[in-house]
Structure 1
Amino acid sequence: MIPNLFLIGAQKSGTSYVHNVLTRNGLVSCGKEKEMNFFSKREAHIKQGIDEYLLNFKDSPKSKYLIDSSTSHFQPNNPRIDKNPAKQIYNFNKNAKIFAVIRNPIERYESAYNHHILMGRIEPTDNIDKILDKHLLLNIGRYDESIIQWREYFPQLKILTYDSLCSNPELFFSDLFDFLELNKARKNLVLDFRSNDTQIRFDKKKNPSLTSKIKLTKESKNFLKDYYQESILNLEKLIGQDLSHWIE
């Protein structure tokens, strides 16, 4: 069996939690590594071929779905065909189910900024008063561009929101299970745990200067609202949802 379910992103939008709900409850199977990034990073193809990629899933339990949750697959505006994850996954398994979880891109930016601080990629500061265009911080939040690219190959791409995951997780997963045709999955579902929580990761850091998440300044937040406004308006049309609260 080869991977036939892909949770493609977006990064810092609750994807680790969603992955863990599906796998911990035995609803889908996964490989040894959650994120292989095989179809999104050229260096992955250089270092390993498809056979080595599949070895990650060799000992996975049998189930209806075998999931790859590489959130690096959800990146817009990559002109290179050899790094177009949607096209590559279509060529790999055109019958795969694809879904994404998206989050207010301003909140996502703040969360990703803190993540990169923890990873040592960005210097710690008192607040986020400068908008950095590095590590795809801005790029990933342009969800409309990614969705258009993915729907070219997978028209049935399922889009879920972090808002709905937080406000009503039971309804969120019910919607996902309908998409996956997992009709028996609603019973005895364990949802009460946390995954990849940024504040918990800060608490575990021994560096005394890294004690808590930092916040966007009002000026930075307003900049991001302007930056993402057109993208969010396009996104509303693509997924048929009112997202005006994202930029209020």
Structure 2
Amino acid sequence: MTLPNFICIGAQRAGTTWLHDCLNEHPEVYVPEKKELHFFNSNYSKGIEHYATEFERSNPGHRAIGEVTPNYYHDIDALKRMKDTIPDAKIVFIIREPVARSYSHYQLLSTTRCKGLSFQEAMAQVPIISELSLQGKYIKNVLSIFPKNQVLICLYDDLEQKPHDFFKNILCFLGVNEYFTPSVLNERVNRIIFPNLQNAMDKIGLKFVIEMIKKTPIGALIKKKYNESGRKSVSLNQKAYKNVFSSDVTLIEELTGFNLENWR
């Protein structure tokens, strides 16, 4: 029975889809084609044998076997189950500047829980958005369960600015060839383009059509426009919300040794 020796646990809206796609190309890494298995939070009752079937296509050449489920980081029960099941697994946790993460989460929910709400209204009325941006709180939980030497905390800022170095750092942590460069390294994978259409297509089994569009020049232009508008909105809201997350940012600095002055 094969179980993972690493898991990327989050954060949500912090580049985990990009990481999954990069890892999926690495010849020494095995991740299931399906991202987000949700075993330790939603499917634990199905049993370890069921979980192991997700990794049965791995082979001896795969030195790192794992999965990416960004909902794990904020579920302490899932983390404890993970510790009980795969106690020596390496944990990757990507964290993102909290206002930017919150805004991206707001965009994700723009056709559901946040439909018709401004970002300001969503921050006030949908607590999960700001709650999941309190990443220091969740780093503390992770480090209370797993030894620090098994946990790699990464900054989304580095992914944006130096994707090659960011990915190399993760590969070194996983103990695989650090010089491999995936074809998608400099691409931005954005799952929330065409949210209404994507949800509808997914329900009828045609989600792959949207995925194909995303990889075309037209999809690239839409992503660029989407990301630019998002950055402008985050910039406008940065000062208004920085105090909401100030103490949590300080906690992250204390736990990691990072200098996050640019988050203040």
- Give me the TM-score of the superposition, normalised by structure 1: 0.82
Trace 1:15-94 onto structure 2 (pairs within 5 A).
Answer: 15-41=16-42, 44-46=43-45, 48-62=46-60, 63-75=62-74, 84-94=77-87
Aligned residue number for residue 9 of structure 2: 8
Residue 129 of structure 1 contacts residue 217 of structure 1 at CA under 8 Å; is this kept in 2? no
Identity rate of aligned residues, in percent? 23
3-state SS in 2 of match to 1:66: strand
- Counterpart residue number, 1:181: 175
Structure 1 unmatched ranges of 5 or more:
none
Cα separation, partners in 2 of 1:227 and 1:122, compared to 1, 3 Å? same
Is the Cα contact below 8 Å between 1:106 and 1:224 reproduced in 2?
yes
More helix by share: 2
Question: Residue type matched to 1:55 in 2?
Answer: T
Shift of the alpha carbon at 1:189?
A: 3.8
How many residues align structurally?
Answer: 230
**1:13-62 deviation digits (Å, cap 9, x = unpaired):** 01110111111233411124211112123xx234x222222222222344
Structure 1 residue 64 displacement after superposition: 0.9
> For 1:201 and 1:26, how far apart are their aligned partners in 2?
32
Deviation, 1:204, is 6.1
Q: Tell me what 1:225 maps to.
A: 242
> In the TM superposition, what is the alpha-carbon distance from 1:188 to its structure 2 partner?
4.2
- Letter of the 2:41 partner, please give it: S
Displacement of 1:201 in angstroms is 3.4
Q: Check 1:56–1:221 CA distance in 2 against 1; reply closer, same or farther (3 A cut).
A: same
Change (3 A) 1:21 1:188: closer
Q: For residues 72 and 206 of structure 1, do their structure 2 counterparts lie closer, same or farther at Cα, with a shift above 3 Å needed? A: closer
1:239–1:68 Cα change, 3 Å: same
Residue type at the aligned position of 1:152 = S
Q: Does 1:153 align with 2:151?
A: no
Instruction: Name the structure 2 match of 1:193.
Output: 187
Relative to the length of structure 2, the TM-score reads 0.77
1:128/1:216 contact within 8 Å kept:
no
In structure 2, the gaps of 5 or more residues are 201-224
Shift of residue 237 of structure 1? Answer: 1.5
| Structure 1 vs Structure 2 CA RMSD | 2.7
Are 2:119 and 1:128 aligned?
Answer: yes
Aligned to 2:162: 168
1:133: Cα distance to partner?
Answer: 5.3
